């Protein structure tokens, strides 16, 4: 082996027919100065007649080259490199310096001896018939290993040691390539139910212990080849391969539930842990994040239904529509684009209008009319019901005051406004009603507040305080949809309720169902015994109106009398039914 300072060369390439040895090339002093001044491994290469040769190297280059094969000679080492990616890269550059790439990276070796190198080429002046270049080599092994270790940490959940959400998404993406080759997969999302209660009651350490044990149980319920990851605080993702489509996915969900059926022993306590499982089937070219979100959406349905659910695009489309409606409803409320319609409440004895129920209506510029049965639940879920309720209260009382001004006297009728259970639980109903009455100048007797049974059952204590505050304002309190919820006679006896509204489901069936008639009779008798008046909803025929009047029902509403009307039409309707 000869030192670099002796300026010897090692040639690699096609063997010549004659056995004569070519004279060692002469390297310019300026080139050598540049070579030895570099603080990194470097060498000068030459390509002549298809032969790649080394004109000179610095000590760091020899050290780096020799470190990959201690038993090899320098000649053998350079030949091995010349025939590998480094040699091909250098040869291509010297063959065409103008267009060939001048920088590349490659890995050499296996296992713990694997090195990661970065090569950079710079042109040098050459003689006729051959090209020369300066090759600089940077050993990036330490840097690359650090990057790989950091990436491994980034892709692993520190608590359970499982892959995390990022790693799981990458795994899904790789599996998606196999879907194109007719290999089916599904993603399962497993959510630990009531986990927050365990954390709150037993502490975070117990919660961590539960998650670790839960993960071990999950692994025991999976098949070989299935991939498990922790994708959230109390959420796990599973990627399973399918042979029989959705049946295999549901079978995997069943196995998971089976292994979770035994109680968990945490801190000397035995805890029964249940989980909700959502399933999403993978399709070709599907975005991994979208697939995972689909499975998460199915989890929400599984929580509501109580068993594993497979993602259905129609359900997701409906959810997206609800979200869109929430956004549009917020804008409509801000721009005052909703309207109140008024459905007459008829005194069944006199036939006159006793009052009007205020009902919100929304006609969207693009979607057209949106049913209250669609946007009211969205308003309750999003909290917009508070803003909607305040708007309706103010609008209804102002309309009633406006009717008084138009007729020149106080109308002998009232307006009924619905209150959501969310409003009762989260808003100051008494202040809202008080402000509306004061602003409009109405007396409390001309305002009826309709509440559902759910607003009472959720928090009886708060409901009692709200009812008493409303009665202090002389407002009338009605229980809406009576008989369809969780009514308690104790509530009817204790709470200051003035009116029971009989749900339309009982009223509409009276003419064909004896049981419905019996229920209506019972409600009327109960109301009479408690000193309450009654209102029947859903009166659509004269027979129903006549029968309810004969049974002693105080008032009624329904399409037989009138549909919900705009304010001006409602006032005209009131005038048309006035007998004196």
CB atoms within 10 A of CB 414: 20
- The CATH code for residues 4-145 is 3.30.450.20
Q: Where in the chain is the domain with CATH 3.30.450.20?
A: 4-145
Q: What percent of the chain has pLDDT over 90?
A: 57
More confident residue, 313 or 447: 447
304-308: average pLDDT: 92
Quick one: pLDDT band at residue 245, thresholds 50, 70, 90? confident
Confidence label for 97 from pLDDT (cuts 50, 70 and 90) = confident
DSSP string, 236-281: EEEEEEESSTHHHHHHHHHHHHHHTSSPEEETTEEE---EEEEEEE
- In this prediction, residue 534 has a pLDDT band, given cuts at 50, 70 and 90, of very high
For 62-94, the pLDDT digits (tens) are 888 764 444 456 677 777 777 788 889 999 999
Which pLDDT score is estimated for 218?
A: 94
> Which of 9, 131, 10 has its CA nearest to residue 80?
10
Residues facing residue 105 across a β-bridge: 118
Confidence check: pLDDT of 1 > 60: no
| pLDDT score at 65 | 75
Q: Which of 245-249, 338-342, 570-574 is predicted with the least confidence, judged by mean pLDDT?
A: 245-249
**Strand blocks (E) in 427-579:** 447-452, 476-482, 499-502, 533-536, 555-556
pLDDT at position 24 is: 43
Residue 51, judged by CB atoms within 10 A of its CB (0-12, 13-18, 19+), counts as middle
Q: How far is it, in rounded angstroms, from Cα 83 to Cα 87?
A: 6
**Residue 66 CB coordination number (10 Å):** 14
How confident is the prediction for the chain on average, in pLDDT?
87
Query: Which is it for the CA torsion 207, 213, 216, 217, positive or negative?
Result: negative
- CATH ID of 323-575, from 3.40.50.720, 3.20.20.450, 3.40.50.970, 2.130.10.10: 3.20.20.450
Q: Which helix (H) or strand (E) holds 498?
A: none
Tens digits of residue pLDDT in 108-136:
778 777 889 999 999 998 777 788 999 99
pLDDT at 546: 95
Q: Where in the chain is the domain with CATH 3.20.20.450?
A: 323-575
At what angle are helices 195-202 and 204-220 packed, to 10 degrees? Answer: 140
Structure tokens at 158: 């520190």
Q: Are 555 and 348 in contact (CB under 8 A)?
A: yes
Q: Is the pLDDT of residue 16 over 90?
A: no
Q: How are the residues of the chain apportioned to helix, strand and coil, as percentages rounded to the nearest 5? A: 45, 25, 30
414-435 pLDDT tens trace? 999 999 989 999 999 999 999 9
What's the confidence (pLDDT) of residue 4? 38
Q: Where in the chain is the domain with CATH 3.30.70.270?
A: 156-311
Please tell me the predicted confidence (pLDDT) of residue 174: 87
| Rounded CA separation 198/271 (Å) | 9
Please give the class, per CATH, of domain 156-311: alpha beta
Supply the pLDDT for residue 322. 86
CA atoms within 13 A on the CB side of 523: 27
Over residues 150-159, the mean pLDDT reads 84
**Nearest-CA neighbor of 556 among 574, 531, 539?**
539
Express as a percent the part of the chain with pLDDT over 70.
91
């Amino acid at each position: 082996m000869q030192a670099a300072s002796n300026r010897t060369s090692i040639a690699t390439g096609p063997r010549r027919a004659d056995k004569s040895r070519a004279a060692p090339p002469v390297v310019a002093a300026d080139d050598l100065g540049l070579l030895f001044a570099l603080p990194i491994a470097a060498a000068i290469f030459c390509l002549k007649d298809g032969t790649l040769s080394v004109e000179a190297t610095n000590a760091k280059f020899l050290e780096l080259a020799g470190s990959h094969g201690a038993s090899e000679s320098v000649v053998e080492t350079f030949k091995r490199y010349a025939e590998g990616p480094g040699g091909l890269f250098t040869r291509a550059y010297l063959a065409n310096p103008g267009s060939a790439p001048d920088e590349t990276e490659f890995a050499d070796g296996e296992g713990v001896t694997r090195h990661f190198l970065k090569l950079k080429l710079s042109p040098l002046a050459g003689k006729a018939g051959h090209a020369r270049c300066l090759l600089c080599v940077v050993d990036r092994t330490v840097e690359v290993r650090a990057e790989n270790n950091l990436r491994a940490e980034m892709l692993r959940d520190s608590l359970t040691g499982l892959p995390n959400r990022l790693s799981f998404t990458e795994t899904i993406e790789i599996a998606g390539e196999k879907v194109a080759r007719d290999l089916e997969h599904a993603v399962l999302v497993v959510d630990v139910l009531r986990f927050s209660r365990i954390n709150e009651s037993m502490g975070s350490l117990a919660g961590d212990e539960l998650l670790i044990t839960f993960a071990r149980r999950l692994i025991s319920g999976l098949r070989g080849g299935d991939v498990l990851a922790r994708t959230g605080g109390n959420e796990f993702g599973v990627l399973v391969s399918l042979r029989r489509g959705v049946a295999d996915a549901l079978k995997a969900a069943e196995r998971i539930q089976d292994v979770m059926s035994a109680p968990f022993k945490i801190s000397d306590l035995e805890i029964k842990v249940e989980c909700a499982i959502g399933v999403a089937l993978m399709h070709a070219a599907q975005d991994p994040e979208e697939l995972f979100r689909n499975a998460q959406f199915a989890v929400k349905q599984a929580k509501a239904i109580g068993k594993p659910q497979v993602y259905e695009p129609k359900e997701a489309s409906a959810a997206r529509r609800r979200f869109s409606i929430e956004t549009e409803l917020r804008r409509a409320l801000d721009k005052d684009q909703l309207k109140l319609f008024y459905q007459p409440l008829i005194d069944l004895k006199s036939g006159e209008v006793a009052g009007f129920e205020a009902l919100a209506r929304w006609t969207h510029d693009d979607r057209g009319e949106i049913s209250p049965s669609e946007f009211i639940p969205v308003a309750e879920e999003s909290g917009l019901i508070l803003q909607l309720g305040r708007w309706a209260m103010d609008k209804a009382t102002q309309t009633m005051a406006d009717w008084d001004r138009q007729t020149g006297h106080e109308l002998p009728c009232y307006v009924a406004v619905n209150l959501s259970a969310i409003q009762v639980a989260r808003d100051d109903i008494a202040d809202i009603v008080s402000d509306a009455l004061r602003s409009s100048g109405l007396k409390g007797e001309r305002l009826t507040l309709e509440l559902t049974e759910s607003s009472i059952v959720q928090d009886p204590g708060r409901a009692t305080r709200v009812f008493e505050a409303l009665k202090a304002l002389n407002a009338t309190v009605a229980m809406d949809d009576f008989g369809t919820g969780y009514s308690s006679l104790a509530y009817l006896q204790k709470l200051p309720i003035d009116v029971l509204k009989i749900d339309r489901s009982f009223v509409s069936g009276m003419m064909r169902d004896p049981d419905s008639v019996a229920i209506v009779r019972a409600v009327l008798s109960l109301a009479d015994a408690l000193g309450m008046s009654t209102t029947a909803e859903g009166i659509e025929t004269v027979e129903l109106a006549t029968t309810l009047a004969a049974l002693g029902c105080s008032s009624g509403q329904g399409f037989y009398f009138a549909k919900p009307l705009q304010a001006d039409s409602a006032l005209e309707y009131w005038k048309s039914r006035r007998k004196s």
